[in-house]
Amino acid sequence: MSLKIQHFADFDQRKPFAEAHRANIEDLEHELHQAKRLVERIGDSSTDSAALYCKPTTFVGFVTCLADTVKHFMNCIDLAGLL
């Protein structure tokens, strides 16, 4: 799935699939909204120092970016001795 397609985080497009799999519809709606906001805010790391270091172009790339970001965040917490 491409992040650039217009229905990437369209709740109405995902709802029938979620209902068929008995997913928590309220959580799905919230998470899709958050994912859409995150994608909109990811900047080009070469020009925006506050941006995430990755710029995904596919859904798999988006998930990989999130996984890498969480991994780095957990490493920072570990180094700070907060765990």
Q: What is the pLDDT of residues 32-76, one digit of tens each?
A: 888 888 777 776 555 554 455 566 777 777 778 788 777 777 878
pTM of the model: 0.59
Length of the chain in terms of residues written: 83
Whether 32 and 40 have beta carbons less than 8 Å apart is answered as no
Q: Where are the domains of the chain?
A: 11-79
Q: Looking at residues 16-42, what average pLDDT do you find?
A: 87
